[in-house]
Amino acid sequence: MLFTVAGIEVQPWIPPLVSFVISFFTSMGGVSGAFLLLPFQMSVLGYVNPSVSSTNQFYNIVAIPSGVWRYIKEGRMVWPLTWVVIVGTLPGVFIGAIVRVQYLPDAKNFKLFAAAVLLYIGVRMAKDLIKQMRGPKNTGGLTAAQAAEKRFQEQVARFREKAKQSEAHGEKLASVRVVRFTTTRIAYEFYGETYEVPTFGILSLSFIVGIVGGVYGIGGGAIIAPFFVSFFGLPVYTVAGAALMGTFITSIAGVAFYQAIAPFYPTMSVAPDWLLGFLFGIGGMGGMYMGACCQKHVPARYIKWMLSVLIVFLALKYVRDFFG
Protein backbone atom coordinates (compact mmCIF):
# COMPACT_ATOMS: atom_id res chain seq x y z
CA MET A 1 0.00 0.00 0.00
CA LEU A 2 1.37 3.39 -1.04
CA PHE A 3 1.29 6.32 1.39
CA THR A 4 1.78 9.33 -0.84
CA VAL A 5 2.52 11.98 1.81
CA ALA A 6 5.07 9.79 3.56
CA GLY A 7 6.47 8.60 0.24
CA ILE A 8 6.65 4.97 1.39
CA GLU A 9 5.01 1.66 0.55
CA VAL A 10 4.10 -0.79 3.32
CA GLN A 11 1.53 -3.49 4.02
CA PRO A 12 -1.49 -1.93 5.85
CA TRP A 13 -1.41 -4.46 8.71
CA ILE A 14 2.16 -3.63 9.75
CA PRO A 15 1.60 -0.12 11.28
CA PRO A 16 -1.24 -1.17 13.64
CA LEU A 17 0.58 -4.34 14.72
CA VAL A 18 3.80 -2.51 15.52
CA SER A 19 2.03 0.31 17.36
CA PHE A 20 -0.03 -2.17 19.40
CA VAL A 21 3.06 -3.95 20.69
CA ILE A 22 4.96 -0.72 21.42
CA SER A 23 2.09 1.12 23.10
CA PHE A 24 1.14 -1.88 25.25
CA PHE A 25 4.45 -1.69 27.10
CA THR A 26 5.15 2.05 27.00
CA SER A 27 1.68 3.10 28.19
CA MET A 28 2.38 1.39 31.51
CA GLY A 29 4.94 4.11 32.15
CA GLY A 30 2.70 6.97 31.03
CA VAL A 31 4.23 7.15 27.55
CA SER A 32 2.22 6.85 24.34
CA GLY A 33 4.95 5.04 22.44
CA ALA A 34 5.34 7.77 19.82
CA PHE A 35 9.01 8.19 20.75
CA LEU A 36 9.62 4.61 19.60
CA LEU A 37 7.32 4.76 16.58
CA LEU A 38 9.30 7.62 15.11
CA PRO A 39 12.54 5.59 14.92
CA PHE A 40 10.55 2.73 13.39
CA GLN A 41 9.09 5.02 10.73
CA MET A 42 12.45 6.58 9.91
CA SER A 43 14.80 3.60 10.15
CA VAL A 44 12.53 0.73 9.08
CA LEU A 45 9.91 2.31 6.80
CA GLY A 46 12.19 5.03 5.41
CA TYR A 47 9.81 7.87 6.29
CA VAL A 48 12.27 10.74 6.78
CA ASN A 49 10.28 13.83 5.71
CA PRO A 50 9.56 16.51 8.37
CA SER A 51 5.92 15.41 8.23
CA VAL A 52 6.91 12.29 10.17
CA SER A 53 6.76 14.46 13.31
CA SER A 54 3.19 15.59 12.67
CA THR A 55 2.15 12.06 11.64
CA ASN A 56 3.56 10.81 14.93
CA GLN A 57 1.49 13.38 16.82
CA PHE A 58 -1.64 12.36 14.92
CA TYR A 59 -0.98 8.81 16.12
CA ASN A 60 -1.19 10.20 19.67
CA ILE A 61 -4.57 11.76 18.99
CA VAL A 62 -6.06 8.47 17.81
CA ALA A 63 -4.35 6.15 20.28
CA ILE A 64 -4.26 7.93 23.63
CA PRO A 65 -7.98 8.36 24.58
CA SER A 66 -8.46 4.65 25.34
CA GLY A 67 -5.60 4.62 27.85
CA VAL A 68 -6.64 7.93 29.45
CA TRP A 69 -10.21 6.69 29.84
CA ARG A 70 -8.96 3.61 31.68
CA TYR A 71 -6.90 5.70 34.12
CA ILE A 72 -9.89 7.99 34.75
CA LYS A 73 -12.14 4.99 35.33
CA GLU A 74 -9.72 3.62 37.92
CA GLY A 75 -9.43 6.98 39.73
CA ARG A 76 -5.75 7.48 38.96
CA MET A 77 -5.84 10.85 37.18
CA VAL A 78 -4.15 13.73 39.02
CA TRP A 79 -6.11 16.50 37.31
CA PRO A 80 -4.22 19.52 38.74
CA LEU A 81 -0.96 18.01 37.47
CA THR A 82 -2.59 17.39 34.09
CA TRP A 83 -3.83 20.97 33.64
CA VAL A 84 -0.47 22.51 34.59
CA VAL A 85 1.32 20.21 32.14
CA ILE A 86 -1.05 21.22 29.33
CA VAL A 87 -0.74 24.96 30.00
CA GLY A 88 3.05 24.74 30.12
CA THR A 89 3.52 22.44 27.15
CA LEU A 90 1.28 24.09 24.55
CA PRO A 91 3.44 27.18 23.80
CA GLY A 92 6.53 24.99 23.57
CA VAL A 93 4.90 22.69 21.00
CA PHE A 94 4.41 25.59 18.59
CA ILE A 95 8.03 26.69 18.97
CA GLY A 96 9.22 23.12 18.49
CA ALA A 97 7.27 22.73 15.23
CA ILE A 98 8.98 25.80 13.76
CA VAL A 99 12.41 24.57 14.85
CA ARG A 100 11.77 21.17 13.24
CA VAL A 101 10.75 22.56 9.85
CA GLN A 102 13.09 25.54 9.77
CA TYR A 103 16.30 24.17 11.26
CA LEU A 104 16.10 20.36 11.29
CA PRO A 105 14.55 19.29 7.96
CA ASP A 106 17.55 17.10 7.12
CA ALA A 107 17.00 13.51 8.28
CA LYS A 108 20.61 12.99 9.38
CA ASN A 109 20.69 16.05 11.61
CA PHE A 110 17.27 15.23 13.00
CA LYS A 111 18.45 11.74 13.93
CA LEU A 112 21.26 13.24 15.99
CA PHE A 113 18.74 15.47 17.77
CA ALA A 114 16.51 12.45 18.37
CA ALA A 115 19.48 10.51 19.74
CA ALA A 116 20.27 13.30 22.20
CA VAL A 117 16.66 13.36 23.43
CA LEU A 118 16.43 9.59 23.78
CA LEU A 119 19.82 9.24 25.43
CA TYR A 120 18.98 11.87 28.01
CA ILE A 121 15.65 10.23 28.83
CA GLY A 122 17.10 6.74 29.09
CA VAL A 123 20.20 7.61 31.11
CA ARG A 124 18.24 9.86 33.44
CA MET A 125 15.69 7.13 34.09
CA ALA A 126 18.37 4.50 34.75
CA LYS A 127 20.34 6.78 37.10
CA ASP A 128 17.25 7.61 39.09
CA LEU A 129 16.28 3.97 39.37
CA ILE A 130 19.71 3.23 40.87
CA LYS A 131 19.40 6.27 43.11
CA GLN A 132 16.01 5.12 44.38
CA MET A 133 17.46 1.72 45.23
CA ARG A 134 20.14 3.43 47.35
CA GLY A 135 18.00 6.31 48.61
CA PRO A 136 16.60 6.94 52.13
CA LYS A 137 14.31 4.21 53.34
CA ASN A 138 11.56 3.97 55.91
CA THR A 139 11.56 1.48 58.78
CA GLY A 140 10.52 -1.22 56.36
CA GLY A 141 13.50 -0.56 54.10
CA LEU A 142 11.44 1.16 51.38
CA THR A 143 11.24 4.68 49.97
CA ALA A 144 7.92 6.52 50.21
CA ALA A 145 7.10 5.80 46.57
CA GLN A 146 8.05 2.14 46.95
CA ALA A 147 5.91 1.85 50.10
CA ALA A 148 2.88 3.27 48.29
CA GLU A 149 3.47 1.02 45.31
CA LYS A 150 3.80 -2.00 47.60
CA ARG A 151 0.44 -1.24 49.24
CA PHE A 152 -1.07 -0.76 45.80
CA GLN A 153 0.25 -4.14 44.63
CA GLU A 154 -1.07 -5.81 47.78
CA GLN A 155 -4.54 -4.42 47.11
CA VAL A 156 -4.35 -5.53 43.48
CA ALA A 157 -3.63 -9.05 44.69
CA ARG A 158 -6.62 -8.93 47.05
CA PHE A 159 -8.88 -7.65 44.27
CA ARG A 160 -7.82 -10.43 41.96
CA GLU A 161 -8.85 -12.94 44.60
CA LYS A 162 -12.17 -11.18 45.16
CA ALA A 163 -12.81 -11.04 41.43
CA LYS A 164 -13.18 -14.79 41.45
CA GLN A 165 -16.40 -14.26 43.41
CA SER A 166 -17.28 -11.19 41.26
CA GLU A 167 -17.04 -8.89 44.30
CA ALA A 168 -14.46 -6.50 42.92
CA HIS A 169 -15.88 -5.84 39.46
CA GLY A 170 -16.19 -2.14 38.76
CA GLU A 171 -14.37 -1.16 41.95
CA LYS A 172 -11.51 1.36 41.69
CA LEU A 173 -8.14 0.01 42.69
CA ALA A 174 -6.42 3.27 43.53
CA SER A 175 -8.07 6.63 44.02
CA VAL A 176 -5.93 9.74 44.06
CA ARG A 177 -7.11 12.46 46.45
CA VAL A 178 -6.02 16.02 45.70
CA VAL A 179 -4.98 17.75 48.92
CA ARG A 180 -3.84 21.10 47.58
CA PHE A 181 -3.83 22.97 44.27
CA THR A 182 -2.56 26.56 44.27
CA THR A 183 -0.38 28.75 42.09
CA THR A 184 2.63 27.60 44.12
CA ARG A 185 2.02 23.97 45.12
CA ILE A 186 0.23 20.80 43.99
CA ALA A 187 -0.28 18.07 46.59
CA TYR A 188 -2.15 14.79 46.46
CA GLU A 189 -2.46 11.62 48.50
CA PHE A 190 -1.95 8.09 47.20
CA TYR A 191 -2.21 5.07 49.49
CA GLY A 192 -1.31 6.84 52.69
CA GLU A 193 1.57 8.86 51.21
CA THR A 194 1.32 12.57 50.34
CA TYR A 195 3.22 13.91 47.34
CA GLU A 196 3.83 17.62 46.80
CA VAL A 197 5.40 19.43 43.83
CA PRO A 198 5.94 23.12 42.95
CA THR A 199 3.43 24.39 40.40
CA PHE A 200 5.92 26.73 38.73
CA GLY A 201 8.50 23.96 38.52
CA ILE A 202 6.04 21.72 36.67
CA LEU A 203 5.05 24.64 34.43
CA SER A 204 8.66 25.48 33.51
CA LEU A 205 9.56 21.85 32.88
CA SER A 206 6.46 21.43 30.71
CA PHE A 207 7.41 24.41 28.54
CA ILE A 208 10.87 22.99 27.82
CA VAL A 209 9.40 19.55 27.22
CA GLY A 210 6.88 21.09 24.83
CA ILE A 211 9.65 22.51 22.65
CA VAL A 212 11.52 19.21 22.51
CA GLY A 213 8.29 17.26 21.98
CA GLY A 214 7.18 19.62 19.22
CA VAL A 215 10.44 19.06 17.35
CA TYR A 216 10.48 15.31 17.86
CA GLY A 217 6.75 14.79 17.35
CA ILE A 218 5.95 13.00 20.60
CA GLY A 219 3.81 15.47 22.54
CA GLY A 220 6.26 15.36 25.45
CA GLY A 221 4.94 12.47 27.55
CA ALA A 222 8.08 10.37 27.03
CA ILE A 223 10.14 13.15 28.56
CA ILE A 224 7.91 14.45 31.30
CA ALA A 225 6.82 11.08 32.74
CA PRO A 226 10.39 10.05 33.71
CA PHE A 227 10.91 13.51 35.25
CA PHE A 228 7.80 13.13 37.38
CA VAL A 229 8.95 9.75 38.61
CA SER A 230 12.65 10.44 39.09
CA PHE A 231 13.14 14.15 39.77
CA PHE A 232 9.88 14.84 41.64
CA GLY A 233 9.59 11.37 43.19
CA LEU A 234 5.99 10.71 42.14
CA PRO A 235 4.65 7.13 41.80
CA VAL A 236 4.37 5.92 38.21
CA TYR A 237 0.85 4.65 38.95
CA THR A 238 -0.33 8.25 39.46
CA VAL A 239 1.57 10.12 36.74
CA ALA A 240 0.85 7.85 33.78
CA GLY A 241 -2.65 9.22 33.19
CA ALA A 242 -1.58 12.86 33.56
CA ALA A 243 1.36 12.42 31.17
CA LEU A 244 -0.82 10.71 28.55
CA MET A 245 -3.57 13.32 28.82
CA GLY A 246 -1.05 16.14 28.46
CA THR A 247 0.43 14.42 25.42
CA PHE A 248 -3.03 14.04 23.88
CA ILE A 249 -3.96 17.74 24.17
CA THR A 250 -0.58 19.03 22.99
CA SER A 251 -0.58 16.60 20.06
CA ILE A 252 -3.87 18.07 18.85
CA ALA A 253 -2.29 21.52 18.94
CA GLY A 254 0.87 20.23 17.26
CA VAL A 255 -0.94 18.56 14.37
CA ALA A 256 -3.10 21.64 13.81
CA PHE A 257 -0.04 23.86 13.77
CA TYR A 258 1.93 21.65 11.37
CA GLN A 259 -1.10 21.61 9.06
CA ALA A 260 -1.41 25.39 9.28
CA ILE A 261 2.22 26.11 8.37
CA ALA A 262 2.38 23.49 5.59
CA PRO A 263 1.37 25.98 2.82
CA PHE A 264 4.37 28.14 3.73
CA TYR A 265 6.74 25.25 2.87
CA PRO A 266 5.51 24.10 -0.56
CA THR A 267 8.71 22.20 -1.37
CA MET A 268 8.63 20.20 1.85
CA SER A 269 6.31 17.53 3.27
CA VAL A 270 5.12 19.10 6.55
CA ALA A 271 1.45 18.16 7.07
CA PRO A 272 0.78 14.67 8.51
CA ASP A 273 0.13 11.54 6.49
CA TRP A 274 -3.40 11.10 7.85
CA LEU A 275 -3.92 7.51 6.71
CA LEU A 276 -0.61 6.24 8.03
CA GLY A 277 -1.11 8.07 11.33
CA PHE A 278 -4.60 6.59 11.63
CA LEU A 279 -3.35 3.03 11.08
CA PHE A 280 -0.68 3.51 13.73
CA GLY A 281 -3.29 5.07 16.00
CA ILE A 282 -5.74 2.17 15.73
CA GLY A 283 -3.10 -0.28 16.91
CA GLY A 284 -1.96 2.14 19.61
CA MET A 285 -5.53 2.51 20.85
CA GLY A 286 -5.77 -1.19 21.61
CA GLY A 287 -2.26 -1.37 23.01
CA MET A 288 -2.74 1.57 25.39
CA TYR A 289 -6.02 0.28 26.73
CA MET A 290 -4.51 -3.13 27.42
CA GLY A 291 -1.38 -1.54 28.87
CA ALA A 292 -3.43 0.64 31.23
CA CYS A 293 -5.37 -2.44 32.35
CA CYS A 294 -2.22 -4.48 32.96
CA GLN A 295 -0.10 -1.74 34.54
CA LYS A 296 -1.41 -2.43 38.02
CA HIS A 297 -0.20 -6.02 37.80
CA VAL A 298 3.39 -5.09 36.90
CA PRO A 299 5.88 -3.73 39.49
CA ALA A 300 6.82 -0.13 38.64
CA ARG A 301 10.57 -0.77 38.66
CA TYR A 302 10.20 -3.38 35.90
CA ILE A 303 8.32 -0.88 33.73
CA LYS A 304 10.99 1.78 34.28
CA TRP A 305 13.94 -0.52 33.61
CA MET A 306 12.32 -1.85 30.46
CA LEU A 307 11.81 1.65 29.10
CA SER A 308 15.26 2.94 30.05
CA VAL A 309 17.14 0.06 28.41
CA LEU A 310 15.12 0.31 25.22
CA ILE A 311 15.54 4.09 25.02
CA VAL A 312 19.32 4.00 25.50
CA PHE A 313 19.65 1.27 22.88
CA LEU A 314 17.79 3.35 20.29
CA ALA A 315 19.78 6.48 21.15
CA LEU A 316 23.11 4.73 20.65
CA LYS A 317 21.90 3.30 17.35
CA TYR A 318 21.09 6.80 16.08
CA VAL A 319 24.47 8.11 17.18
CA ARG A 320 26.14 5.26 15.32
CA ASP A 321 24.03 5.99 12.21
CA PHE A 322 25.02 9.68 12.33
CA PHE A 323 28.75 9.06 12.54
CA GLY A 324 28.74 5.84 10.53
Ranges of each domain in the chain = 15-135+142-165+175-323
pLDDT at residue 134 in the model: 65
Residue-wise DSSP of 11-49: -TTHHHHHHHHHHHHHGGGT--SHHHHHHIIIIIS---S
CA proximity to 270, closest of 22, 58, 17, 37 = 58
> Which residues on adjacent β-strands are paired with residue 187?
180, 196
pLDDT in tens, the chain (324 residues): 889 888 899 999 999 999 999 888 877 766 777 878 888 898 889 998 889 989 999 998 998 888 788 778 877 789 999 999 999 999 988 898 898 888 888 877 887 887 887 787 788 778 777 776 665 555 555 666 566 666 666 766 665 566 555 544 555 455 788 999 999 999 998 877 788 999 999 999 899 888 888 887 776 766 787 778 767 878 777 888 888 888 888 889 889 999 999 999 888 889 999 999 999 999 999 988 888 777 667 766 777 787 778 778 878 877 887 786
CA distance 5 to 55: 10
The DSSP bridge pattern shows strands 8-9 and 177-181 to be: unpaired
Q: State the Rg of the chain over Cα.
A: 19
Task: Calculate the CA 8 to chain-centre distance.
Answer: 26
pTM to 2 decimal places: 0.77
pLDDT at 198: 95
The whole-angstrom distance between residue 85's C-alpha and the CA centroid of its chain comes to 12
Residue-wise pLDDT for 216-261, tens only, equals 777 676 678 777 876 787 877 788 888 888 888 888 988 999 999 9
